[in-house]
Amino acid sequence: MSHKKVAILISGGGSNMVSLVESMTGDHPARPCLVLSNNADAGGLQKAAAAGIATAVVDHRPFKGDRAAFEEDLVKPILEAGADIVCLAGFMRVLTAGFVSQFQGRMLNIHPSLLPKYKGLHTHARAIEAGDAEHGCTVHEVTPALDDGPILGQARVPILPDDTPDELAARVLVQEHRLYPAVLRRYAAGDRSRLDLT
Ligand code: GAR
């Protein structure tokens, strides 16, 4: 069997990246080919290297807000690695339509809310502030609009009385680590139907 190659883009600790990497063994239809970060200090880079995965850094800061120029460099290691699928996993840069269109139908993102609720940042605080009874995470296909695109899976958690944003985020993160590998496995096998974890 020839495996699909997966590039994972991170900006921080990379716990979702680790859960994806650890899932891609045995009869999984994909394997990691690259972990790429916009941040040389991203803790996930060392974890990826320790797991024997090629890593690369393209710092966005020298581009001073010129997203297209940043992305011209960002795309290079992805193409060189021959990635079939791109997984955004805590990658905190907004991508332009030009970049996204190159990977249309083969780029996934995980977002810490029950989309379409709470696109963007501070999702946990916003869900608590709104008095919601539940919160969660979504894996979706990436389209040019931020945190939009076909939903491939969701997992839900209750919001408890007196939850802080950090406590809620930690509870959601546990579900992210279940959801993203489960969706990627199906997606890499060609199954784009929606997965709802309980
Ligand atoms: C995760 O909670 C992920 O859903 C979120 O950042 C965190 C990264 O953690 N992503 C976004 O907010 C994207 N807008 P990780 O580096 O430990 O995977």
pLDDT tens digits, residue range 45-85?
Answer: 999 999 999 999 999 999 999 999 999 999 999 999 999 99
User: Does 10 sit in the ligand 1 pocket, CB within 6 Å?
Assistant: yes
> What's this model's pTM, rounded to 2 decimal places?
0.98
Counting residues of the chain whose pLDDT is more than 70, the rounded percentage is: 99
**How many separate domains does the chain show?**
1
Residue whose CA is at the smallest distance from ligand 1 atom 6:
90
- Banded model confidence at residue 7, pLDDT cuts 50, 70, 90: very high
The answer to whether 90 touches 68, Cβ cutoff 8 Å, is: no
pLDDT tens digits, residue range 124-151?
Answer: 999 999 999 999 999 999 999 999 999 9
Q: Which of 60, 111, 124, 135 is catalytic?
A: 111
Q: How far from 79 is each of 73, 74, 87, 159, 182, CA to CA, in Å?
A: 10, 9, 14, 41, 25
Query: 173: domain range?
Result: 4-190
- The answer to the question of residue 124 being in a domain is yes
- The answer to the question of residue 196 being in a domain is no
| CATH number for the domain harbouring residue 100 | 3.40.50.170
pLDDT tens digits, residue range 138-184?
Answer: 999 999 999 999 999 999 999 999 999 999 999 999 999 999 999 99
User: Does 119 sit in the ligand 1 pocket, CB within 6 Å?
Assistant: no
User: Does 87 sit in the ligand 1 pocket, CB within 6 Å?
Assistant: no
- The answer to the question of residue 11 being in a domain is yes
Residue whose CA is at the smallest distance from ligand 1 atom 3:
90
- The answer to the question of residue 195 being in a domain is no
Is residue 3 part of the annotated active site? The answer reads: no
pLDDT of residue 198: 86
- The answer to the question of residue 197 being in a domain is no
DSSP one-letter string for 74-112: HHHHHHHTT-SEEEESS--SPPPHHHHHHTTTSEEEEES
